[in-house]
Amino acid sequence: MSKKIFLCSICNINSGTCNEDCKFCSQSVKYKADIERYKQKPMNQILEEARHLEALGALGFCLVTAQKGLDDKTLDFVCNIASTLKHEVPRLRLIACNGTASLDQLNELKRSGVSAYNHNLETSREFYSQVCTTHPWEERFETCENVNRSGLKLITGGIFGMGETHEDRLSMLYSLKELNPISVPLNFYHHNPALPLNPNPLTIDESLELITLARRILDKSDRIMIAGGREITFKERQHEIFGAGANSIVIGNYLTTAGRDAHSDLTMLKDLGFEIAFSPEDK
């Protein structure tokens, strides 16, 4: 396994404003979860976060908006942020995560300095209607295909532990393989009491096995990233994710929940003998 670990970071630039009914997402207005909600994070705050996370070693910086997809207003907002960050923090690789997107919209993001687009399949085609009814799984897959057509790097993954079967997990992983993403974020469901899902949590051993399974199936993807739910799922055994096949983690906070103290993650990586990747070409 590579001794380089890729650090990615998330910036929630628009929070808790989504009208979709995804049962796994506290950003849906439908469930009234107790989270911070705002329409546009100020540019100076975004820039401060970007500089802080870059200093910690983050290579990727993901600009996330809480809504079904891009409209003209959101596209302008994200493009303006990307253009500023590209100038002010040039080492960061900018990722956009703004829901469904057309080829023209993705091309506009690319012209503004965005390097990659993240749009997760979330789960299998077969199980998806159990966790979302306001838009189809096929729409997610089509956006990922548009990303590949645009020339942006595709980042797509999903969530384990929402009540899906093992067959659903396999189905999702093979759908991801069809899309040939550069990076695959694996999330482990973190329950919010406002959400209608409440499945039994996965064990640590089950979760490690899923990382190994993903690494085996997605053998052409550069990175298997462990994202949301890492701290609550793996607890004191977080270091074992790398032996299972992961080579990337999200550092810092998530969208609506706090992550582990970043310095704890950096200490863990150092103690394990890993180096932080400072270029997408690092192996």
Q: Indicate the domain borders of the chain.
A: 4-276
- The pLDDT of residue 282: 58
- Please name the residue that has the structure tokens 């975004």: 46
Report the alpha-carbon distance of residue 141 to residue 163 in Å, rounded: 21
First to last CA, the chain: 9
Q: Which helix (H) or strand (E) holds 157?
A: none
- Please name the residue that has the structure tokens 């990175």: 223
At residue 143, what is the residue type?
T
Q: Which helix (H) or strand (E) holds 122?
A: none
- The pLDDT of residue 254: 59
26: tokens are 């506290």
DSSP H helical segments within the chain, as ranges? 43-56, 72-88, 103-111, 137-150, 166-179, 204-217, 230-234, 240-244, 262-271
- Please name the residue that has the structure tokens 């990615």: 8
For the domain spanning 4-276, the CATH number is 3.20.20.70
Q: What is the pLDDT along the chain (283 residues), one digit of tens a residue?
A: 458 999 999 999 887 788 888 898 887 888 777 777 778 899 999 999 999 999 999 999 999 998 889 999 999 999 999 999 999 999 999 999 999 999 999 999 999 999 999 999 999 999 999 999 999 999 999 999 999 999 999 999 999 999 999 999 999 999 999 999 999 999 999 888 888 888 888 999 999 999 999 999 999 999 999 998 999 999 999 999 999 999 999 997 656 555 577 889 999 999 999 999 987 665 5
Pairing of strands 223-226, 183-188: parallel
- Would you call 169 exposed, middle or buried from its count of C-beta atoms within 10 A (0-12, 13-18, 19+)? buried
